[in-house]
Amino acid sequence: GENVEQHPSTLSVQEGDSAVIKCTYSDSASNYFPWYKQELGKRPQLIIDIRSNVGEKKDQRIAVTLNKTAKHFSLHITETQPEDSAVYFCAASEGGGADGLTFGKGTHLIIQP
């Protein structure tokens, strides 16, 4: 089955700086890669996703890049703000949808004032 590795497990950045979280996956058939944000004590929520026919996708301060050859994808957050502090999860699935999603272990992003 699919295996998703996520790094780093904890990331501390100064407010206003950029943050990058990286994930690798094992199943070359995977074609859907979402990112979820989970604030402390809250539910995970989808923030951005990318499908295998696209190399990059942006939404305001967040972007995701995908390298299918190397089987890795990354989340980029620019101009970080205190409300970006949360745990971020990457995931991958073969079917293109929510069924069969395998999640990474998560990255705790800390924004230092």
Partner 1 sequence: DAGVIQSPRHEVTEMGQEVTLRCKPISGHDYLFWYRQTMMRGLELLIYFNNNVPIDDSGMPEDRFSAKMPNASFSTLKIQPSEPRDSAVYFCASSSGTFTGELFFGEGSRLTVL
Report the interface residues with partner 1, using CB under 8 A. 32, 34, 36, 42-46, 49, 89, 95-106
Compare residues 80 and 104 and give the one whose CB is closer to partner 1: 104
How many CB atoms sit inside 10 A of residue 22's CB?
17
Compare residues 15 and 59 and give the one whose CB is closer to partner 1: 59
Looking at the DSSP bridge assignments, the partners of residue 73 are: 23, 66
DSSP-derived 3-state class of residue 83: helix
Compare residues 47 and 63 and give the one whose CB is closer to partner 1: 47
CB of 74 to partner 1, least distance (A): 18
Looking at the DSSP bridge assignments, the partners of residue 14 are: 112
Compare residues 48 and 77 and give the one whose CB is closer to partner 1: 48
CB of 50 to partner 1, least distance (A): 10
CB of 16 to partner 1, least distance (A): 29
**Where would I find the beta strands (DSSP E) of 15-113?**
19-25, 32-38, 45-51, 56-59, 62-67, 72-77, 86-92, 102-103, 107-112
CB of 96 to partner 1, least distance (A): 5
Give me the phi and psi of 76, to 5 degrees please: -120, 130
